[in-house]
Amino acid sequence: MSATLESFLARVYVDQDYRESFLRDPRSEAVKAGLSPAEVQAVMQIDQVGLELFAASLQKKRQKRCAKTGALKQQ
């Protein structure tokens, strides 16, 4: 997995606005992110329900961590 793909997926998982843009037009967002043709094809096959579930799980973990440490909630 390339560093570009890893960065792209991380952003999709944690940035709700970006994730919504990706879900509306996966090919366009993947191309704009500089993914290779094979990577573009791969991300177009992402399980969208699983993606949303994983993103929600990450958000809950972040909220718990922020509550424990007293840190400001990050969106």
pLDDT of residue 72: 58
Segment (H or E) for 7: helix 3-14
Short-list 24, 25, 28, 30, CA closest to 11 = 30
pLDDT of residue 61: 85
- Break the chain into its structural domains and give their ranges: 3-69
CB neighbourhood size of 9 (10 A): 19
| Predicted structure pTM score | 0.77
Residues 24-65 pLDDT 10s: 999 999 999 999 999 999 999 999 999 999 999 988 887 777
pLDDT of residue 62: 79
- Higher-confidence residue of 1 and 22: namely 22
Q: For residue 1, is pLDDT > 60? A: yes
